[in-house]
Every structure is written in C-alpha cells, then in structure tokens.
Amino acid sequence: MDKRDTAFLKQQAKRVRIEILKMLTEAGSGHTGGSLSAADVVTALYFYKMRHRPDVPNWRERDRFILSKGHAAPLLYVVLALTGYFDTLLLKTLRKIGSPLQGHPCSKTLPGVEISTGSLGQGLSVSNGIAIGLKIDNLNSRVYCLLGDGETQEGQVWEAAMTAAHYKLDNVCAIIDLNGLQIDGPVSKVKAIEPVASKWSAFGWNVIDIDGHDMEAILNAFDEAETVKGRPSVILAHTVKGKGVSFFEGKVEYHGIAPTRDELEMALKELDGNG
C-alpha cells in the first residue's frame, strides 16, 4: 500500500478517534478535546512520515516524537497500539492502578514513549536536546514535537524557539495544535498568542500554516519541513477541539472530561464505529 494513500490515512485517523473515545469512557476521566483535535496530525506522523520500528522501540536511527502537551496521552497511546508497540487490549486500562497508561505518558513504563511529559512548556527544550545529540552522532533522524496553543503561553517555549534557531536545528519540527481553547477558556481571552505565524518567523523558524484536519495538507507540510535546511520548521495546524464528534467540537468543557456511556454510543454512530 502507498504510504501516502490519504484515504487510508483518513480511515486510520477515524479509527484513532474511535479508540480514544472508548478508552476515555472506560476510564471515566481524561482529556477528550485536545486528543481528538490532534488525531489527524499524529496519525500522519506514525502511519506516514516517521521512521520508527515498533518491534525495536529504541532503534537508534528512529525519528522521535515528543508529546509536549502530555495531557493528550490517550492519542499517543492509541497510535502506539495501532502501530504495534503493544496490544490494543491494554488501552482498556487507561488511568487504572498499575497500568502503564497513566494520565500523562511515562517513558519508564511504556515502549514508544520517548520522555515523560505533562508539565507544559518543556517538550520543545527536550526536543532540542535530542536533536543536538542526533547531530553530534551524525544521525539523520528527526524530532517532531507537538505543542498545544495554550502551552505556547509558557516562556520556556520561546527560549527553546530561540535555541533551535540559534543552533540551526533543521532536524526539529514543531507542530502547534491551534484549536483555540484551553482549560480556562478561549486562548485569545486567557492570554492571546496571535500573531502566531509572524512570531515564529521572527524567531528564525520556517513557518508552515495549514488546516490541521486536511490530510493532504498535513502530509505536504511534513514533506516540506524535511527539505528545509539550516533552520527548524514549525507547522501551525489549525484544528477544532473535539474534532470528529459534533457535540464535542469547539466545547471548552470537554478539555478534560471523558464521554459518558450515552455520549460514547452517539459518538460512535457519528464516526461509523461499532456501537
């Protein structure tokens, strides 16, 4: 199968959303909105762009993915399971005592998790460190870092942005999940981050602005980022919080609330799931 088959990738993204909702409902807690909004981007990474080997999670030449917005752990867990890092049956144990699938990803307990994340603002700094190490080791591997738009209110993000540009880390690609909402409300009201594109450009980054739910645009963005030399790239992915389920979309209250059983049933019908 052609890895760039957008129909296949869209189908995988739908399956990712279905599994996210199932595991969140089973757990009774977790982050719905931000996991669904970034599903298309992360699906494209794992099923198309990234070089990785689920059978050898620590393969030296792998590309790395850093989930800086660690509360979207359900998304990472589902994609790791569907690409073969562990059995999908484990998804039912989200947030349960003793499960490796906790509310935020832990690199010590789960294969495929590069680093434990959840304290917002730190992921890009970590990505820079990994990227520098890869260059020292003369490896062509790349580092992809997913940040939330509210997360970019953190000062450390901009220190990291300066660092990546200063060291010409063209093996770093940041993705901003611009869904416009954070736990306390609209990002524009909590602390406005616009003009996003011109800020990243002023910090020396190659900026790629896309619809974060347009699979073809996502693939083109990742391909473009890989060709840029001498500076890092950032993909500004304009998304919808809770994307894929009409009654979750654009609702700030679903930032950190799991679906009820009834909501799950309605959501699966919308997503053509089994249920």
Q: In the sheet that 172-178 helps form, which strands lie side by side, from edge to edge?
A: 64-67, 143-148, 172-178, 233-238, 206-211
pLDDT at residue 157 tops 90 = yes
Q: What values do phi and psi take at 232, rounded to 5?
A: -75, 165
pLDDT in tens, 18-58: 999 999 999 999 999 999 999 999 999 999 999 999 999 99
Nearest CA among 101, 71, 98 for reference residue 88: 101
Asked whether 83 and 57 are in contact (CB, 8 A), the reply is no
Two structure tokens written together for 20: 């996210």
pLDDT at residue 114 tops 60 = yes
pLDDT in tens, 165-190: 999 999 999 999 999 999 999 999 99
Mean residue pLDDT of the chain comes to 96
Q: Residue ranges per domain, the chain?
A: 6-270
Range 6-270 has CATH code 3.10.450.50: no
pLDDT at residue 2 tops 70 = no
Helices assigned H by DSSP within the chain = 6-27, 33-37, 39-44, 73-82, 123-136, 155-166, 187-191, 196-202, 215-227, 261-270
Asked whether 141 and 134 are in contact (CB, 8 A), the reply is yes
